[in-house]
């Protein structure tokens, strides 16, 4: 079976320059992903259900793009230079600049599973990593860029929500080990990837629904909002992290009793965001 690297869900009402992407909710594990820890442990890296939780966004005029593959295999929210030379059996021809994420074992290709167990019992070849980049990483980024560029051309501006979920408590490999997180963490890389009004709109709307919200703490947003957010060009990208225990059991990944409420609240949030975008976009 050939699985495409991403799925695109187009607007089901009048199209708005509003794009959501869910880079980490993919559940298709490629045959050559020979991880050592049990699948149930590796899957804890996923933002399971996130694309499904936001499906109502297309009814409000948004486009939703979701990755089909797991982030532990290749992480599209990392830069291509964020590669761990220790993972590789042979030389990597391109420059690498490992970030703190790579030091934590969760760079472009994850070296460890959640909890700290090594992901592989072998080194990967450069050709394998190249193949993951070419077959999965690049097509995902190209799809997102194409969508954002087309809408920006048509409307003179575009708004983008980069959608994730996070463990309720930072683990040993996170920047905030042991800390209980807010319900929502918004990341605009300290105000550099979208206009402050967009961050405030989302923050105030979800606060009004009774959720706790933190901004740029502990997640500021990583590669995807960094690449696509250029507010001076009216390209606004905001990362949204949702605490997983609001909607699922973190071990079994099964939806919990809160799933339906969160799904309804996200649909209301999308209506509010759609109204904001509609008011500001020239068409
Ligand atoms: Zn994520």
Distance CA 109, CA 85 (A): 10
- Centre of ligand 1 to C-alpha 45, Å, is 8
Over its C-alpha atoms, the chain yields an Rg (Å, rounded) of 18
Angstrom distances, CA of residue 184 to CA of 32, 100, 241? 34, 23, 6
Are residues 71 and 165 in contact, defined by beta-carbon separation less than 8 angstroms?
A: no
Are residues 211 and 181 in contact, defined by beta-carbon separation less than 8 angstroms?
A: no
What mean pLDDT is predicted for residues 43-55?
A: 97
- Centre of ligand 1 to C-alpha 272, Å, is 23
Which are the contacts of 275, defined by CB distance < 8 A and separation ≥ 6? none
Dihedrals phi, psi of 160, to nearest 5 degrees: -135, 130
List pLDDT tens digits, range 160-188.
999 999 999 987 777 788 889 999 999 99
Distance CA 124, CA 120 (A): 8
Distance CA 174, CA 176 (A): 5
- Centre of ligand 1 to C-alpha 117, Å, is 20
- Centre of ligand 1 to C-alpha 73, Å, is 13
Are residues 213 and 186 in contact, defined by beta-carbon separation less than 8 angstroms?
A: yes
pLDDT category, 283, cuts 50, 70, 90? low
What mean pLDDT is predicted for residues 72-91?
A: 94
- Centre of ligand 1 to C-alpha 96, Å, is 22
What mean pLDDT is predicted for residues 203-227?
A: 96
- Centre of ligand 1 to C-alpha 246, Å, is 15
List pLDDT tens digits, range 217-226.
999 999 999 9
- Centre of ligand 1 to C-alpha 72, Å, is 11
Distance CA 18, CA 274 (A): 7
In the chain, what percentage of residues exceed pLDDT 90?
88
- Centre of ligand 1 to C-alpha 94, Å, is 26
Distance CA 221, CA 190 (A): 9
This prediction has a pTM of 0.96
- Centre of ligand 1 to C-alpha 17, Å, is 23
Residue 175 confidence (pLDDT): 79
- Centre of ligand 1 to C-alpha 271, Å, is 23
Angstrom distances, CA of residue 57 to CA of 46, 91, 226? 21, 44, 23
């Amino acid at each position: 079976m050939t699985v495409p690297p991403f799925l695109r869900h187009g607007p089901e009402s009048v199209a708005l320059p509003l794009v959501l992407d869910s880079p980490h909710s993919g559940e298709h594990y490629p045959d050559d992903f020979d991880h050592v820890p049990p699948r149930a442990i590796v899957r804890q890296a996923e933002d399971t259900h996130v694309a499904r939780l936001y499906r109502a966004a297309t009814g409000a005029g948004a486009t939703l793009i979701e990755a089909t593959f797991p982030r532990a295999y290749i992480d599209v929210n990392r830069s291509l230079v964020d590669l761990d030379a220790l993972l590789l059996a042979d030389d990597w021809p391109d420059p690498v600049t490992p970030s703190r994420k790579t030091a934590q074992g969760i760079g472009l290709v994850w070296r460890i599973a959640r909890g700290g167990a090594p992901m592989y019992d072998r080194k990967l070849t450069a050709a394998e990593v190249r193949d993951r980049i070419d077959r999965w990483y690049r097509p995902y980024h190209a799809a997102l860029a194409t969508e954002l560029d087309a809408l920006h051309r048509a409307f003179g501006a575009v708004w983008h929500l980069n959608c994730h979920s996070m463990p309720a408590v930072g683990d040993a490999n996170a920047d905030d080990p042991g800390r209980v997180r807010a319900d929502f963490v918004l990341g605009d890389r300290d105000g550099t990837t979208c206009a402050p009004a967009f961050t405030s709109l989302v923050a105030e709307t979800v606060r009004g629904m009774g959720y706790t919200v933190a901004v740029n703490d502990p997640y500021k947003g990583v590669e995807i909002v960094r690449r696509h957010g250029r507010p001076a060009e009216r390209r606004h990208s905001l990362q949204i992290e949702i605490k997983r225990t609001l909607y699922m059991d973190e071990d079994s990944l099964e939806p919990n009793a809160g799933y339906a409420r969160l799904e309804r609240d996200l649909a209301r949030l999308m209506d509010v965001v759609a109204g904001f975008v509609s008011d500001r976009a020239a068409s």
